[in-house]
Amino acid sequence: RRHPKLKAKAGQAKRLLPFALDLAAELRLDGSDGESRYQCISHLSDIYHLAGKRELTQEEVDSWRWSAAMHMYYYVTCGFHIVPKHHYFLHMPEHILRAGVPRSFWVYSDEAKNFQLKYLFNKCNKGTDVCVQVLLRLERRFVLEHLLHHC
């Protein structure tokens, strides 16, 4: 059976969660997958709530671990297939314990800017390879700083 696919970036999909959770709650008793869909979205919503916090307690990290496992369980129960990004959810608590809350090392909100920066850079440098341009600029900067300090 085929499911409809949503073509959206992570930030856009995140904003749809409250709507999806309300819809899943309404359809909870409708059919065999209703409860599984609701639980899947509910656990995902819990993860996003925790991801937005500035600090997490050990209890909240454990809650993240539980919600990630349950989200994946219900996701598969609904007939979907796990992809590596889903599997990564299971390992996030370990990353949080090592590096702090996700907002200190997650860059989803700025990933779209990479394309824009590369596009502008290429336009301004007439198609010259980005790596070469960066190295040339660093080399010029080093030479200028060296000359300023030794002259």
What is the dihedral sign for C-alpha 68, 73, 79, 85?
Answer: positive
Positive or negative, the CA dihedral 42, 106, 58, 69 is: positive
Report how far residue 39's alpha carbon sits from residue 67's, in angstroms, rounded to the nearest whole number: 10
DSSP 49: H
Range 128-134, long-range pairs (CB < 8 A, 24+ positions) = none
**Secondary structure (3-state) at 21:** helix
Residues 3-35 pLDDT 10s? 677 777 767 777 888 888 888 888 887 767 788
Question: 132-146 as b/e, with b when 16 or more CB fall inside 10 Å?
Answer: eeeeeeeeeeeeeee
**pLDDT per position as a tens digit, 60-118:** 999 999 999 999 999 888 888 888 777 777 888 888 888 887 767 666 555 656 666 66
Task: Tell me the two tokens of residue 109.
Answer: 């909100």
pTM, two decimal places: 0.64
The DSSP code sequence of 51-66 is HT-S---HHHHHHHHH
